[in-house]
Chains A and B, each alone.
Chain A
């Protein structure tokens, strides 16, 4: 089984900051990776698919990069609505442990 390791588990930041979340796969998954945002009590929302393709309707401050085993999600300028938990997922398989983005 391919394991997904996400870091950090918690990230404290301020509105306007640039933040990066990292996801590592235990073996190559090419570009078959998605990033999700989840808020309490809600289903996850797709942000990025194929490692770097922005889902329709998602603000352009979100971006994804990487291939193989190393991936990143970057938010270029944090907005109040962005404080949530973020997950990476190998398509239809394992998730990373999640990164809770908190207000500093």
Chain B
């Protein structure tokens, strides 16, 4: 079965850091671009970052540049999102995704 299983969300204070993980199974992970997408409460889907199959190219939406870092480990079929300098506006459900396949989502709450 093709699936993405996420972990790593939670409650963090403003200015804090969090690392999200996403483990892929059922497909050749190293053959796909991967993305992180988020959805703030009551809002639409918002693309955050993506990474090329071999990790050689990475792109970010403007409001996370310099704060978030996407990475992957193809040997572990894993995708990561390191989030630093978090603010309340980063509160959202975060999804990892490839074409047509999404993780279950993980909630990040930034609050004191």
Contacts and interface: CB of A to CB of B under 8 A. Distances in A.
Q: What's the dominant secondary structure at chain A's contact region?
A: loop
B82 to A, nearest CB: 19
A95 B44 contact: yes
B100 A43 contact: no
Contacts of A89: 45, 47
B54 to A, nearest CB: 15
The DSSP consensus for interface residues of chain B is strand
B35 interface: yes
Contact of B102 (A44, A49, A95): A44
A81 B62 CA distance: 36
B104 A94 contact: no
Interface string A40-78: 000110100100000100000000000000000000000
A34 interface: yes
A97 interface: yes
A67 B101 CA distance: 23
Interface residues of B, number: 18
Interface size class of A (residues with CB under 8 A): 20 to 34
A91 B99 contact: yes
Given A34-B99, A43-B95, A49-B99, A95 B104 contact: no
Contacts of A36: 45
Nearest to B100: A46
Given A43-B95, A43-B105, A95 B100 contact: no
Contact of B100 (A1, A55, A93): A55
Interface of A: 1, 34, 36, 38, 43-44, 46, 49, 55, 85, 87, 89, 91-98
Interface of B: 33, 35, 37, 44-47, 50, 59, 62, 95, 99-105
Counting from the closest, the 6 A-B pairs by CB-CB distance are A43-B102, A46-B100, A98-B44, A92-B50, A95-B45, A92-B35
